Amino acid sequence: MKKNIFIAGGAGYIGSHLNLAAHERGYGTVVYDNLVYGHKSAVQWGDFVLGDLEDIKQLRLVFRHFRPDAVMHFAAYACVGESVAEPEKYYLNNVAATLNLLRVMREAGCRDFIFSSTCATYGIPRQTPITEDHPQVPVNPYGRSKLMVENMLADYAAAYGMRHVNLRYFNAAGADRRSRIGEDHQPETHLIPLVLDAAAGKKPGVSVFGTDYDTPDGTCVRDYIHVEDLAQAHLLALEYLFDGGESISLNLGNGQGYSVKEVIDCARAVTGREIRVTEGPRRAGDPPALVGGTELAARVLGWRPALPRLEDIIGTAWAWHKKRFGHESGN
C-alpha cells in the first residue's frame, strides 16, 4: 500500500524538492507549512495544510486525517547571524515546536523520523573532512537548536522506540533540473543565489566575506551539495528506516570543497556574465572550511551524489533563476 509522508516545512527550499522527489517515488505526501518563509507555489504535488507546528491541536487533526507512516522535518529557521541576535526565536521554533511534532507522532504511533540537521552542529572543525563521530560543539544558537533536537530524538528512540535518521547537510544548492522549483529565500543570504543575482544584473555585485582565511586562496571553503541529491538521500534514509534500520546520523555533502572565489569563477563560466566582486570583512561565525566526509552515507544508504560537479549545481540554479525572473542568459 502507498505510504504517506508528513513533510513539515515542505514549502521551503529543500522541503519542496523532497516533496517532488517523494511524489515521483510514489509516496503520498502532506506538506504542513506556515508559509512564513515557504512558498505555496512550490507545493505542486500532494496535499497541503497551512499550519504551524506551535498549533498542536491542528497537528493532531492532520495526523488523524492523513495517518502518516513517517515524518520529514524541514521546518526551521536557518540563519546563523539571526540566531545569534534572536536566540529565542530559534529555540521556540526549531526546538519547542519540534517537540510538539514528536509528541503528536508518539501519540499517533508514527515511529520514523527524518531530521534535517546540519554540519553547524559540529562547530569549528578539528579535522577535515568532518566525519559523523566528530565532536558536536556548535558555536551559534542555530547549531545548538539543531543539536538539541538530535538529543531529543536519541531520548525518544531509547524511551519510546521511535527511530530517526539525522541528516547533517553541508551547503545545499542548485535547483530542480526541470526548473519547476528552486531556491527562493526572502531575504536571500546564500552565496550562489546572490552571485547569480549579480550575474543577472539584479545586484551591482557580490561581496566576498573575508579574504584572509587560512585556505588556499584566502576565502572560505564549503562543500556544496545539489538539492536533488539531498532529496534522493532522504528517500533512501526513509527506505532504510522502513526496512528496520537503526537510528543513525549521516553527513550529506560531496566530500569536496570550493572556495568563495572558485564559486564566483564557476558562475562566470556558467552564465557567461561579468560578476563584480568587492572584498569585504569576515562574516561573524564563519568557519574557514567545512567539508563533509560522506563514506558513511554511501555505505549505509548506498547514496552517491548524481550531480557532484559545481558547474551542474550552479547551472541548474541559473536555469531556475532565468525562469523565475524571466531574463535571458545572454549566451
Closest to ligand UDP by CB, 208 or 301: 208
Alpha-carbon span 140 to 45, nearest angstrom: 35
Stretch that binds ligand UDP, among 8-16, 55-63, 151-159, 202-210 (CB under 6 A): 202-210
User: Exposed e or buried b for every residue in 236-245, given b needs 16+ CB within 10 A?
Assistant: bbbebbeeeb
CB atoms within 10 A of CB 314: 27
Q: Are 48 and 23 in contact (CB under 8 A)?
A: no
Alpha-carbon span 146 to 39, nearest angstrom: 23
Closest to ligand UDP by CB, 77 or 209: 209
Convert residues 18-57 into a mask of x (bound to ligand UDP by CB under 6 A) and - (unbound): ----------------------------------------
Backbone region of residue 302 per phi and psi (left: phi > 0; alpha: psi in -120 to 50; beta: other values): left
200 touches ligand UDP (CB under 6 A): no
105 bridge partner residues: none
Q: According to CB under 6 A, which one of 25, 89, 185, 190 is a site residue for ligand UDP?
A: 190
Convert residues 99-138 into a mask of x (bound to ligand UDP by CB under 6 A) and - (unbound): ----------------------------------------
Active site residues: 142
Torsion of CA 154, 136, 183, 186, to 10 degrees: 100
Smallest separation, CB 190 to ligand UDP (Å): 4
Q: According to CB under 6 A, which one of 75, 194, 289, 319 is a site residue for ligand UDP?
A: 194
Alpha-carbon span 65 to 46, nearest angstrom: 14
Alpha-carbon span 288 to 121, nearest angstrom: 15
Q: Are 82 and 17 in contact (CB under 8 A)?
A: no
* Beta carbons within 8 Å of 211's beta carbon, 6+ residues apart: 217, 218, 219, 279
Closest to ligand UDP by CB, 44 or 189: 189
Smallest separation, CB 171 to ligand UDP (Å): 5
Closest to ligand UDP by CB, 45 or 90: 90
Smallest separation, CB 276 to ligand UDP (Å): 12
Stretch that binds ligand UDP, among 158-166, 175-183, 185-193, 303-311 (CB under 6 A): 185-193
276 touches ligand UDP (CB under 6 A): no
Q: How many residues bind ligand UDP (CB under 6 A)?
A: 14
* Footprint on residues 218-237 left by ligand UDP (CB under 6 A): 220, 222
275 touches ligand UDP (CB under 6 A): no
CB atoms within 10 A of CB 278: 9
95 touches ligand UDP (CB under 6 A): no
Closest to ligand UDP by CB, 82 or 286: 286
Strand arrangement, sheet containing 248-252 = 47-50, 28-33, 4-8, 70-73, 112-118, 163-169, 248-252
251 bridge partner residues: 168
